[in-house]
Copies of this chain bind each other. A is one copy, B any other.
Amino acid sequence: MAPENAQVLTIGVDLGGTSLRVAAYTPEQGVLNSITLRTRLEAGPLAVVDDMCEAIGQLLDQYSEGRELAGIGVGSPGPLELPAGRLHHPPNLPGWDGFPLLEEMEKRLNRPVILESDANVAALAEYALGLGKTLGVESLCMLTLGTGVGNGIILDGKLWHGATGMGGEAGHMTIYPDGPLCGCGNNGCLEVCASATALVSAAERLIAAGRAPGLALLKSKCGSLTALDLAEAAQQGDADALEIYAETGRALGICLAGLINILNLPLYVVGGGVANSWDLLAPSMFEELERRSYVYALTAPGRAAAKGMPCGGTEVLSAKLGAEAGLLGACILPLHSAKASLATA
């Protein structure tokens, strides 16, 4: 039994297609300890849930003495149906279609589990511990440019779930209606224009067409290319790599211009590995924002104040928290879950 003034403890789980991480957390001390495991996809979802719950049990044994458990937060690849906590054809967890992740975890743990998509969890971390905290805003929209493009939206301090928990999928907004085919079945989604995968595909297309000699050489040296290779080439002045990043910034700008016109939030955050090359993306991105969002043009930082609007303007910034956002967000999820809302159907 925890004493009356017991410290609050949470457990956070960052479930990915490659690895899974489990951490014990307190608001005062942050992450106390974490366990990293390989995600045994070949063994099936039940085995992966067993692995997660075993790691959770270890950390609970170690850290729950004298502390009060506020809950267990889990960030999972989507699409996730809420409040049921079921997965629907998750591209990064093949074989998990229809899997009732929340139910299976609660069955084993006999404790409250709060499940969110990984992109929502990252947005929550940025809201509560990152840029949202720094700027003191209660609403933000975050895009995570990684292997795919994740999105999380926080409105008035609450994660926006929508009617079935599938809100915040701006990664699948159409940017170019006749663009490359996306895994979701659409053409020209942001995900096929601005993810790390999309950057590499764009380079591969140029190389195949014989139009990027510098990148062809780089590829023949490295064997294969990554978004980071392209960023380094761009930093060293390779014109094709620079243009690939500029084009990514344009696609991102078109998407964000739409999100600004629709939601008019005080803060848009761009995270994930691709956002580390902010200087390569930002010029073309801001050019698109100015032209394609009159809301942005009216309310850009400084301009809103000059017009006498009582707000800090529309900020578009690269994420403050890095790769830890997923794990940290899962850890603080139980502390914010009471605020989460579903659109009443």
Binding site for B on A (CB under 8 A): 79, 81, 84, 88-89, 137-139, 151, 153, 155-157, 160-170, 172-177, 184-187, 254, 257-259, 261-266, 291-295, 297-299, 304, 307-312, 314, 341, 343-345
Tell me whether B156 and A343 are in contact (CB under 8 A). yes
Contact of A172 among B163, B184, B261 (CB under 8 A): B261
Complex Cα–Cα for A51 and B257 (A): 37
A175 to B255, CA, bound (A): 10
Contacting pair A295 B169 (CB below 8 A): yes
A155 touches B155 (CB 8 A): yes
Given A166-B299, A344-B138: A177 and B175 interface contact (C-beta under 8 Å)? yes
Instruction: Let me know if A164 and B264 touch, CB within 8 A.
Output: yes
Residue of B nearest to A308 (CB): B84
Q: How many copies of this chain are found per oligomer? A: 2
Q: Cβ of A167 and Cβ of B263 under 8 Å apart?
A: yes
With a CB–CB cut-off of 8 A, which chain B residues contact A167?
Answer: 262-264
Give Cα A308–Cα B84 distance, bound, in whole angstroms. Answer: 9
Choice from B156, B175, B345 contacting A311 with Cβ under 8 Å: B345
- With a 10 A CB-CB cut-off, give which of A295, A307, A308 has the most chain B CB atoms: A295
With A170-B261, A172-B294, A294-B185 as contacts: A138 and B343 at CB distance below 8 Å: yes
In the complex, the chain B residue whose C-beta lies closest to that of A137 is: B345
Q: Are B160 and A263 in contact (CB under 8 A)?
A: yes
Q: Which residues of B contact A89 (CB under 8 A)?
A: 294
Known: A138-B345, A172-B294, A185-B297. 9 other contacts (CB 8 A): A88-B307, A137-B343, A156-B344, A161-B264, A163-B314, A170-B262, A174-B292, A186-B292, A186-B293
Of all A-B residue pairs in the complex, the 4 with the closest CB atoms, nearest first, are: A162-B264, A311-B345, A138-B344, A167-B264
Within the complex, the shortest CB–CB distance from A328 to chain B, in Å, comes to 23
Most chain-B CB neighbours within 10 Å: which of A151, A177, A308? Answer: A177
* 24 A-B residue pairs with CB within 8 Å: A81-B307, A139-B162, A139-B163, A139-B343, A156-B341, A157-B344, A161-B264, A162-B263, A162-B265, A163-B314, A164-B309, A164-B311, A166-B295, A168-B262, A168-B264, A169-B294, A170-B261, A172-B293, A173-B261, A185-B291, A187-B292, A259-B262, A310-B345, A312-B345
A169 closest partner in B (C-beta): B261
* Chain B residue, CB-CB nearest to A261: B169
Which residues of B lie under 8 Å from residue A341 when comparing CB positions?
156
